[in-house]
């Protein structure tokens, strides 16, 4: 998974299907979601780009997108927000959701 930040976010997430993980190092559920996303990337990396955005270090983007709780997973397609998932989600649920937009 690639890390992104407030400065690069729009440029890096404006093309194709993208999943962005809004997280923080101190967040237990975020640490539970991370290996699921790594497995998802191994399985679907050719169809979706996966990014992580640390909300503590990058509050501007999180604020602009209304991220109030973490982990929040945002799905974008060609720059448009398609879905917002709050909390920990299984790989199966994420595959199903992403396939709706691919």
Q: Which one of 17, 18, 20, 27 is the catalytic residue?
A: 27
Residue 2 falls in the annotated catalytic set: no
Phi, psi angles (nearest 5°) of residue 90: -70, 160
How do beta strands 17-23 and 49-54 pair?
Answer: parallel
Give the H or E element holding residue 42. Answer: helix 28-44
Is 30 one of the catalytic residues?
yes
Instruction: Choose the catalytic residue: 30, 50, 67, 70.
Output: 30
Q: Which residues contact 96 (CB under 8 A, 6 or more apart)?
A: none
Annotated active-site positions, please?
A: 27, 30
């Amino acid at each position: 998974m690639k890390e992104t930040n407030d400065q690069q976010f729009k440029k890096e997430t404006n093309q194709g299907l993208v999943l962005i993980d809004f997280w923080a190092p101190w967040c237990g559920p975020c640490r539970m979601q991370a290996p699921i996303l790594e497995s998802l990337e191994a399985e679907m990396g050719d169809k979706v780009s996966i990014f992580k955005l640390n909300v503590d270090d990058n509050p501007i983007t999180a604020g602009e997108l209304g991220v109030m709780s973490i982990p929040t997973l945002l799905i974008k397609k060609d720059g448009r927000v398609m879905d917002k998932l709050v909390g920990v989600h299984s790989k199966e649920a994420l595959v199903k959701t992403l396939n709706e937009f691919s």
